[in-house]
């Protein structure tokens, strides 16, 4: 079709036409809000690099979650900040650990809000790696049992879904087995399947106190240069029993979301991570961009690329914008 027979502007000339032609629509149903739980009462420690986000004691966590629920956000992703760390991450699978307690409180107070728990060891190990270490090596197979026990303890506390983010090989199968053996065959696994070794996690590591004390995460998280490998990672997790697969981060990896969407018929989650949030907040504060517009454009881009759900620190703000 050639000009002047075809005039693309014909269908853009008014809001009614633009709404009719819109291919992708954002909804509050698309959002999962990540939240950080810490012990104490009345605690609301601001996270400097993530304006509007806090380390929350359980009472305040419930308050914020209620707000999310009232906006219609279907789920939160829960991270714990424990008060003690050790080499075997015992706080991660302690039945009275911070995530387990917070989950029980949330399911008690807001039963219809889905609680997804992040399953990892890095906040709980004294060295800050996502698995147990042997010298300076991250020991894959020795970590699997601890990850499985962590997931089971979350399910026992009432978690509606568990989300392993550690990137150890074989952990999805191990978690599926232990859940099935303990009558939790109905608890889905949202696997951080294509999780890249990204500098965009910086603000999160400040918030969760989970930066590694030596080395980095390159031996387990994916190389940012790789796309074909993401398909192998995702396929492997599906074969091991993942119900939903995640691509993380989102914005610098829209091509990965798109490729996974083309090849895979399971629901796809994308994690709009802490650094993506921080960049927009910082530029907005400088007066360099319209933060609200950039937020909505970012979220629609992630959905357009193929994500069915978006983990985002913008969830509350975006839900409010959609409502208005």
Out of 63, 66, 67, 195, pick the active-site residue: 195
* 292 labelled catalytic: no
Closer to ligand PBG by CB, 201 or 253: give it: 201
Per DSSP bridges, beta strands 54-56 and 31-38 are parallel
Give me 201's structure tokens: 């996690």
The reply to whether 274 sits near ligand PBG by the rule CB under 6 A is yes
CB of 147 to ligand PBG, least distance (A): 11
Cα–Cα dist 176/178, whole Å: 6
Closer to ligand PBG by CB, 155 or 222: give it: 222
Q: Which of 39, 66, 101, 205 lies at the binding interface for ligand PBG (CB under 6 A)?
A: 205
Cα 22–27–28 angle (5° rounding)? Answer: 165
Q: Which of 273, 278, 305, 319 lies at the binding interface for ligand PBG (CB under 6 A)?
A: 273
CB of 107 to ligand PBG, least distance (A): 21
Map the footprint of ligand PBG across residues 90-129, applying CB under 6 A: 118, 120, 122
Cα–Cα dist 239/108, whole Å: 34
The reply to whether 133 sits near ligand PBG by the rule CB under 6 A is no
CB of 306 to ligand PBG, least distance (A): 20
* 195 labelled catalytic: yes
Residue burial 280-296, b: 16+ Cβ < 10 Å; e: rest? bbeebeeeebebeebbb
Question: Which residue has the CB atom at the shortest distance from ligand PBG?
Answer: 204
Closer to ligand PBG by CB, 109 or 167: give it: 167
Q: How many residues bind ligand PBG (CB under 6 A)?
A: 11
CB of 130 to ligand PBG, least distance (A): 5
Q: Which of 204, 220, 253, 314 lies at the binding interface for ligand PBG (CB under 6 A)?
A: 204
CB of 202 to ligand PBG, least distance (A): 7
Q: Which residues are catalytic?
A: 195, 248
Contact residues for ligand PBG, defined by CB under 6 A: 118, 120, 122, 130, 165, 201, 204-205, 210, 273-274
């Amino acid at each position: 079709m050639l000009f002047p027979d075809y005039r693309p502007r014909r269908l853009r000339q008014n809001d009614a036409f633009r709404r009719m032609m819109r291919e992708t629509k954002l909804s509050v149903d698309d959002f999962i809000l990540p939240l950080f739980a810490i012990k104490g009462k009345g605690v609301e420690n601001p996270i400097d690099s993530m304006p509007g986000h806090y380390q929350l004691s359980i009472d305040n966590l419930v308050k914020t979650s209620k707000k999310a629920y009232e906006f219609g956000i279907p789920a939160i992703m829960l991270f714990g900040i424990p008060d003690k760390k050790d080499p075997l991450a015992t706080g991660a699978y302690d039945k009275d650990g911070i995530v387990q307690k917070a989950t029980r409180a949330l399911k008690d107070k807001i039963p219809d809000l889905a609680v997804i728990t992040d399953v990892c060891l890095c906040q709980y190990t004294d060295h800050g790696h996502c698995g147990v270490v042997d010298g300076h090596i991250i020991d894959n197979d020795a970590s699997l049992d601890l990850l499985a026990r962590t997931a089971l303890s979350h399910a026992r506390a009432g978690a509606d879904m568990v989300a392993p983010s550690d990137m150890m090989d074989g952990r999805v199968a191990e978690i599926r087995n232990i859940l099935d053996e303990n009558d939790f065959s109905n608890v889905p696994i949202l696997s951080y399947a294509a999780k890249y070794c990204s500098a965009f996690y910086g603000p999160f590591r400040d918030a969760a106190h989970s930066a590694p004390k030596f080395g980095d995460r390159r031996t387990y998280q994916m190389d940012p240069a790789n796309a074909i490998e993401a398909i192998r990672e995702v396929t492997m997790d599906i074969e091991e029993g993942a119900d939903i697969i995640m691509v993380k981060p989102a914005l610098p990896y829209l091509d990965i979301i798109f490729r996974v969407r083309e090849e895979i018929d399971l629901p796809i989650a994308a994690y709009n991570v802490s650094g993506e949030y921080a960049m927009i907040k910082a530029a907005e504060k400088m007066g360099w961009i319209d933060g609200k517009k950039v937020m909505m454009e970012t979220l629609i881009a992630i959905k357009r690329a193929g994500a069915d759900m978006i983990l985002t620190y913008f969830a509350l703000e975006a839900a409010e914008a959609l409502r208005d």
